[in-house]
Amino acid sequence: SIQDSDLIILALPISQIINFMSKIKNISKSKSLIIDVGSTKLKIAKKADELKLNFVGTHPLAGSEKKGLAFSSDELFNNSKVLITPTKNTDKRAVSKIKLFWKRLNAQTVIFSPKHHDKILSYTSHLPHLTAFCLINSIPKDFLAFGASGLKDTTRIALSDVQIWSDIILSNRKELLNSLSSFEKQIKDLKRIIQKGNNKQLIQILKKSKNKRRIIV
Amino acid sequence: SIQDSDLIILALPISQIINFMSKIKNISKSKSLIIDVGSTKLKIAKKADELKLNFVGTHPLAGSEKKGLAFSSDELFNNSKVLITPTKNTDKRAVSKIKLFWKRLNAQTVIFSPKHHDKILSYTSHLPHLTAFCLINSIPKDFLAFGASGLKDTTRIALSDVQIWSDIILSNRKELLNSLSSFEKQIKDLKRIIQKGNNKQLIQILKKSKNKRRIIV
């Protein structure tokens, strides 16, 4: 039971993690170490500090659009990164324990502040989800049968859980609006180049994009 | 040699296909049947009509961002669609022959006008490429190390050949600017919903996106 647990892992949509933190404050023993695996960290960190929980925020960069036991894997965290997001109130020994916990699952741990975490992820994860949602919604339904592997891969994450993702988006609004503006500017610039039919500038953009994408191969 | 060929397949970037069509007019025998496998069809179809070539436009929806013999596969066209785009001047027996050619490679053939082909593909293929290029270009370089499978899949096609894609984009400008505007509107609408923090509307958009994406699984 929760009362007797040494380690409690909150694996829920962000809004439910935050609700659960208040409840858990009263029912867990004072030495219980609590972590979460949510995709945004600042709101959760603030709540943990406010409640003075024995808490460490973590975010394993692993998983897919699928959920449930049927898609579990004991190799899920192999070669993955786990971002750990302590605040100035987080117990240092608790952070060490949690780093070890994730390392035992073959993950590599990286420490960030909750705010910096949310900024990075707004670009590397939340923005790609928004573009996938918008991409599929902008295509006339009758045309979808003529999509090949490019369309499939660019929109796979549009199959993600709706509740989990509405929570992620709304809990990281400020950073996400910045990353979205950065993306809109790229679209606008590219559109202007296409309108002008400027082959040289177009090739420059495509080259830049290809070289940047190579970094994450 | 080209002089003696019964079937000539033009597999080049669009601008080179168009240049080559003029040359081939003079060097191929009059009975040579010429096809191309380019990703946009209207400009090529116009050139074929203008030159009165014995020509059938085709577009196999197969392949990846990789190119060259090292990535060839005798199963490439299995279960794929091939779009065939005759004009009113295209010989009907030539179309039948070419349908059979692609069927023997295990592809399913679909007939469209060149113009309708270019409209459909502007949404299902060219737009996803543009969003991939812009997505990767909008992410600060230092953040790329923290991309997981979502970012990888949404931007894989940013690794595509630069010359092939600048030609596709510029040869389908009109349709592509329309699909791009449709996408920009989705982004703008979603941005407003995020700004307002409207959870109900956000969930509606995410559900619509998920349901549409299921069509192409």
ipTM (interface pTM): 0.93
DSSP assigned state of A157: G
Structure tokens at A75: 């190799």
What mean pLDDT value characterizes chain B? 95
Residue identified by tokens 């069809």 is B41
pLDDT of residue A13: 95
- pLDDT surpasses 80 at A146: yes
Q: Which value, to the nearest 10 degrees, does the dihedral of the CA atoms of residues A20, A23, A24, A25 take?
A: 130
Q: How far apart are CA A146 and CA B116, in angstroms?
A: 12
**Contact across the interface for A158 and B191, Cβ inside 8 Å:** no
Alpha-carbon torsion B34, B21, B1, B73, what sign? negative
What amino acid occupies position A12?
L
Reduced DSSP (H G I as helix, E B as strand, rest coil) percent helix, strand, coil of chain A, to 5: 60, 10, 30
- Angle at alpha carbon of residue A195, lines to A193 and A198, rounded to 5°: 45
**Could you tell me the pTM of the whole model?**
0.94
Q: How far apart are CA B213 and CA B202, in angstroms?
A: 17
Structure tokens at A116: 């910096």
| Residue B148: closest C-alpha in chain A | A61
| Residue B142: closest C-alpha in chain A | A120
pLDDT-above-90 percentage for chain B: 88
pLDDT of residue B65: 81
pLDDT of residue A3: 82
Whether the Cβ atoms of residue A144 and residue B212 lie closer than 8 Å to each other: yes
What amino acid occupies position B13?
P
Structure tokens at B174: 């009109």
Closest Cα in chain B, distance from residue A18 (Å): 16
pLDDT of residue A135: 98
Q: Which residues contact B79 (CB under 8 A, 6 or more apart)?
A: B106, B107, B108
In this predicted model, what pLDDT tens digit does every residue of B33-68 receive, in sequence order? 999 999 999 999 999 999 999 999 999 999 888 888
Residues of B in contact with A81 (CB under 8 A): 145-146, 148
**Contact across the interface for B140 and A123, Cβ inside 8 Å:** yes
In this predicted model, what pLDDT tens digit does every residue of B87-123 receive, in sequence order? 999 999 999 999 999 999 999 999 999 999 999 999 9
Q: How far apart are CA B84 and CA B81, in angstroms?
A: 10
Q: Which residues contact B216 (CB under 8 A, 6 or more apart)?
A: A144, A145, A147, A151, A152, A155
Q: Is A172 helix (H, G, I), strand (E, B) or coil?
A: coil
Q: How far apart are CA A181 and CA B131, in angstroms?
A: 14
**Contact across the interface for B144 and A208, Cβ inside 8 Å:** no
Q: How far apart are CA B142 and CA B128, in angstroms?
A: 24
What amino acid occupies position A7?
L
pLDDT of residue B64: 81
**Contact across the interface for A187 and B190, Cβ inside 8 Å:** no
Q: How confident is the model at residue B30 (pLDDT cuts 50, 70, 90)?
A: confident
Closest CA to A133 of A66, A65, A79: A65
| Run of H or E including B114 | helix B114-121
Could you give the maximum distance between any two Cα atoms of chain A, in Å? 67
Give A187's strand partners: none
Structure tokens at B128: 């996803």
- The average pLDDT across A70-93 equals 94
In this predicted model, what pLDDT tens digit does every residue of B113-154 receive, in sequence order? 999 999 999 999 999 999 999 999 999 999 999 999 999 999
Q: How confident is the model at residue A21 (pLDDT cuts 50, 70, 90)?
A: very high
Closest Cα in chain A, distance from residue B146 (Å): 7
Closest Cα in chain B, distance from residue A7 (Å): 26
- Ramachandran area for residue B52 (φ above 0: left; ψ -120 to 50: alpha; else beta): left
Q: Which of A138, A141, A181 to mutate to test the interface with B (most CBs of B within 10 A)?
A: A138
Residues of A in contact with B201 (CB under 8 A): none
Q: How far apart are CA A204 and CA A210, in angstroms?
A: 10
- pLDDT surpasses 90 at A209: yes
The stretches of B122-161 forming alpha helices (DSSP H) are 127-137, 149-155
Whether the Cβ atoms of residue B162 and residue A207 lie closer than 8 Å to each other: yes
What amino acid occupies position A24?
I
Residue identified by tokens 């392949």 is B63
Reduced DSSP (H G I as helix, E B as strand, rest coil) percent helix, strand, coil of chain B, to 5: 60, 10, 30
| Residue A62: closest C-alpha in chain B | B148
Q: How far apart are CA B30 and CA B4, in angstroms?
A: 10
Q: How confident is the model at residue B157 (pLDDT cuts 50, 70, 90)?
A: very high
Q: Which value, to the nearest 10 degrees, does the dihedral of the CA atoms of residues B82, B88, B92, B94 take?
A: -60
CA B27 from centre of chain: 29
CB atoms within 10 A of CB A175: 22
